[in-house]
Amino acid sequence: MTTGIVERIRTNRRELARLLTRIENGSASAEMAELYPHTGKAHIIGITGAPGTGKSSLVNALAQHYRQNNLTVGIVAVDPTSPFSGGAILGDRIRMRDRSGDSGVFIRSMATRGSLGGLARATSDVARALDAAGFDRVLIETVGAGQSEVDIARAAHTTLVVEAPGLGDDVQAIKAGILEIADILVVNKADRPGLEITLRALRAMLDLGHRAERIAQVKEMHHGQMMTVPAVSKAVPDENTAWQPPIAQTVSTEPRGIEELAGHIAAHRDYLQRTGLLVERERARIQNEILERVRDEVLSRLLSRIDEAQWRDLIARVQSRTLDPAGAAAVLLE
């Protein structure tokens, strides 16, 4: 009898690394199905923020803190802005050096050009594999700003958005978009000048964000395709019990403020459990994932049935402007 995948990745780091490579290559569906019953135990924490905020060193410090408390840590460092692995690999090696010899930490860096959808899916599956492999905390680190983090953060239970003082006068543009995914705000490099300005800006943004969120939700009702799905009941905690993102201050290089930050993370986890949001959010995540998989599969089946001559003809007609792209899609759908 062969040993199951869960047993193998729990006892052998090389097997785990190989599985993660298969996940990245999209050839691990059998293994993912096998390990799925063993997931759901890890606390998955997303860490995002603009370049220059010291995210990597913060992740480093947080991992060390967890290790000192006898918790095992899996780290996924994702760089969606990197066409291939240059930056991510470098960061990986620097961090590796700090923690070499500790089998309670496992680090994987991921970077890809090509489809971001593929990267988000792979990241989520890698986090799931680390969960099944028995890591207590899984940290997903991504470079900040844009839809990429929002997608990748969806895989996390708790999302940290990292800022730093003095990064320029219109970092606000980034914050506005990214604040809505923040469960905890971290001002790293808190020993730098400009701390008070950053804190004030973040507090103002948090006030604004609460109003913005409501407007954005209404907007999404109109635009979001997911709304056509049979609705799953949504437990929204009321104003009084709603989570207010705390602002943590850290100096990850010393390190300073890491224990307090870990406290906020634990409190957020408690909050999710207490309010039932942990279950609700997982349900929403599962719903999205199933739909994405169905969509991808339907598309690839459809593509395999398209006649090449017809396809060329349609493109030629759209290019000569005798047909518009929506019209061409309608022809294919017939």
Shortest separation between residue 57's beta carbon and its own copies, angstroms: 12
Alpha-carbon distance of 23 to 152, in angstroms, equals 16
Shortest separation between residue 99's beta carbon and its own copies, angstroms: 21
Q: Which is nearer to its own copies, 241 or 334 (CB)?
A: 334
Shortest separation between residue 266's beta carbon and its own copies, angstroms: 23
Q: Which one of 15, 18, 81, 136 is in contact with its own copies (CB under 8 A)?
A: 81
Q: Which one of 68, 172, 263, 274 is in contact with its own copies (CB under 8 A)?
A: 172
Structure tokens at 290: 């199933």
Q: Is 234 in the site for its own copies (CB under 8 A)?
A: no
Q: Which one of 1, 223, 234, 236 is in contact with its own copies (CB under 8 A)?
A: 223
Which secondary-structure segment (H or E) carries 209?
helix 195-223
Q: What does the per-residue mask of binding to its own copies show for 110-149, with x meaning CB under 8 A?
A: --xxxxx-x------------------------xxxxxxx
Q: Is 4 in the site for its own copies (CB under 8 A)?
A: no
Between residue 38 and residue 57, which ones bind its own copies under the rule CB under 8 A? 39-40, 51-52
Between residue 181 and residue 220, which ones bind its own copies under the rule CB under 8 A? 208-209, 212-213, 215-216, 219-220
User: Which residues contact residue 40 at a Cβ distance below 8 angstroms, ignoring those fewer than 6 apart?
Assistant: 131, 282
Between residue 263 and residue 322, which ones bind its own copies under the rule CB under 8 A? 279, 282-283, 286-287, 289-291, 293-300, 302-304, 306, 308, 311-312, 314-315, 318-319, 321-322
Shortest separation between residue 202's beta carbon and its own copies, angstroms: 15
Alpha-carbon distance of 108 to 115, in angstroms, equals 19
174-178-180-181 Cα dihedral, nearest 10 degrees = -170
Exposure string over 23-56, b if 16+ CB within 10 A, otherwise e: bbeeebeebbeebeebbeebbbbbbbbbebbbbb
CA geometry: angle 109, 288, 292, nearest 5 deg = 75
DSSP 236: P
How many residues at the interface with its own copies, by CB under 8 A?
98
- Among 162, 35, 21, 146, smallest CA distance to 85 is for 21
Q: Is 329 in the site for its own copies (CB under 8 A)?
A: yes
Shortest separation between residue 7's beta carbon and its own copies, angstroms: 17
Alpha-carbon distance of 67 to 298, in angstroms, equals 44
Shortest separation between residue 294's beta carbon and its own copies, angstroms: 5
Phi, psi dihedral angles at 261 (to 5 degrees): -60, -45
Q: Which one of 15, 22, 32, 247 is in contact with its own copies (CB under 8 A)?
A: 32
